[in-house]
């Protein structure tokens, strides 16, 4: 795993480290938690493989989070927003 002391800027503009990330047992994925995981991978706190293993995510699910953040920011990760964006794209 990446170095524990490394920090990256999280979705709220504040530094985050591995200890700030959601618990590996997280069941309820709100937009902020998803965005924190995306920021951790993008910033090098976790590799994609580590994030997927730690949070039991498929690569496709993580990439959908990453794409939503890139296109629409953290708001793009809201479930109602994802549905709206998907229906517009369809």
| pTM above threshold 0.85 | no
Paired residues of 32 in beta bridges: none
CA atoms of 16 and 4, how far apart (whole Å): 11
Continuous H helices in 9-74: 31-43, 48-55, 59-72
Q: Which domains are seen in the chain, by residue range?
A: 1-7+29-90 (1.10.10.10)
Q: Considering the chain, what percentage of its residues have pLDDT values greater than 70? A: 82
The answer to whether residue 28 scores a pLDDT higher than 70 is yes
The answer to whether residue 90 scores a pLDDT higher than 80 is no
> Please, what's the b/e burial string for 9-31 (b: 16 or more CB within 10 A of its CB; e: otherwise)?
ebbeeeebbbeebbeeeeeebeb
């Amino acid at each position: 795993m990446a170095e524990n002391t490394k920090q990256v800027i999280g979705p709220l503009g504040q530094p985050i480290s591995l200890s700030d990330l959601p618990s590996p047992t997280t069941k309820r994925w709100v937009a902020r938690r998803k965005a924190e995981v995306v920021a951790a991978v993008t910033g090098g706190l976790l590799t994609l493989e580590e994030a997927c293993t730690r949070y039991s995510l498929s690569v496709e699910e993580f990439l959908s989070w990453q794409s939503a953040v890139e296109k629409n920011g953290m708001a793009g990760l809201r479930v109602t927003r994802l549905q709206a964006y998907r229906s517009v794209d369809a």
